[in-house]
């Protein structure tokens, strides 16, 4: 077994249950823009991926998406950011991993400034060697780009990135990490569907599984067949 040299965590759906704040802010944004508002269940699909991808999927062109982004950001900063909670057991799991000396980093498609604010609000910012996310202008928002950015910063901080692992709840985490040669441990308590597990190397049913997986090092082969 090869020990993991560092662990990259997703935020929404992995550390925080943030759906309520995000979906309410999306609904508000679409209402202001006089666009159809999907059902709350349908809006869940937009929790986690880059927000501009979500606007495009809702039929907004680039100019409309930029307008929507401004509306969304203002509302989310004021009311949505803290309409969330930390998943039970995840802080304990992360602290258990950190206590073994394995560095933790955040790699989220949420704007980095907002991610830092949220982690500080919940008293979790001290856990991370580096907190990385999307740029405010969304030029860096795709998960692969965020992961690359986080790795670069960890290297600058002299963290060993020879054998990193990603922990996340959506296919964007799996694919974005894989684009950087990094495997993903998929978590069941987030917003991803069964098909999104494909390509992950392990599936954590509860946060308490994570310290076990990390202590074991490289687990079994990737999950190649998930229920469709």
Specify the pLDDT at position 223: 52
Q: Does 96 lie in the same domain as 206? A: yes
Where in the sequence is the domain holding 170, given as residue range(s)?
Answer: 6-17+85-216
Q: Does 143 lie in the same domain as 211? A: yes
Contact 60, 96 (CB under 8 A): no
Beta strand 164-168 with 6-9: parallel, antiparallel or unpaired?
parallel
10 is catalytic: yes
Last-in-domain residue among 80, 101, 131:
80
Residue 226 lies in a domain: no
Half-sphere exposure of 125 (CA within 13 A, CB side): 14
The answer to pTM > 0.85 is yes
Specify the pLDDT at position 224: 45
Distance CA 128, CA 125 (A): 6
Phi, psi dihedrals of residue 68, rounded to the nearest 5°: -65, -40
Q: Which helix (H) or strand (E) holds 63?
A: helix 62-75
Specify the pLDDT at position 1: 41
**Per annotation, catalytic residue among 10, 12, 169, 173:** 10
Residue 222 lies in a domain: no
Specify the pLDDT at position 107: 98
Which residues lie below 8 Å from residue 55, measured CB to CB, with a gap of 6+? Answer: 64, 65, 68, 69
**Among 199, 166, 161, 162, which residue's Cα sits nearest to residue 182?**
166
Which regions of the chain are under pLDDT 50? 1, 220-222, 224-228
Q: How many domains does the chain have?
A: 2
Helix and strand numbers (H, E) in the chain are: 9, 8
Last-in-domain residue among 38, 62, 80:
80
Residue 68 lies in a domain: yes
Which residues lie below 8 Å from residue 40, measured CB to CB, with a gap of 6+? Answer: 23, 27
Q: Which helix (H) or strand (E) holds 161?
A: none
- Which CATH number does the domain housing residue 70 bear? 1.10.150.240
Q: Does 101 lie in the same domain as 36? A: no
């Amino acid at each position: 077994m090869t020990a993991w040299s560092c662990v990259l965590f997703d935020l929404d759906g992995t550390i925080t249950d943030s759906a309520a704040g995000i979906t309410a802010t999306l609904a508000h944004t679409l209402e202001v823009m006089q666009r159809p508002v999907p059902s709350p269940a349908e809006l869940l699909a937009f929790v986690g991926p880059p927000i501009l991808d979500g606007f495009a999927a809702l039929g907004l062109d680039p100019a409309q998406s930029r307008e929507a982004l401004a509306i969304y950001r203002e509302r989310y900063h004021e009311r949505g950011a803290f309409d969330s909670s930390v998943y039970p057991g995840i802080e304990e799991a992360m602290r258990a991993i950190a206590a073994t000396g394995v560095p933790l980093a955040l790699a989220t498609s949420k704007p980095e400034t907002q991610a830092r604010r949220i982690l500080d609000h919940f008293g979790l910012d001290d856990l991370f060697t580096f907190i990385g996310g999307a740029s405010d202008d969304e030029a860096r928002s795709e998960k692969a780009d965020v992961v690359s950015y986080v790795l670069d910063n960890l290297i600058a901080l002299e963290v060993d990135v020879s054998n990193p692992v990603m922990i996340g709840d959506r296919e964007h985490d799996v694919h974005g990490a894989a684009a950087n040669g990094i495997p993903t441990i998929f978590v069941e308590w987030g917003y991803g569907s069964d098909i999104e597990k494909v390509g992950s190397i392990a599936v954590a049913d509860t946060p308490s599984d994570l310290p076990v997986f990390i202590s074991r090092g490289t687990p079994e082969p990737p999950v190649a067949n998930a229920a469709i």
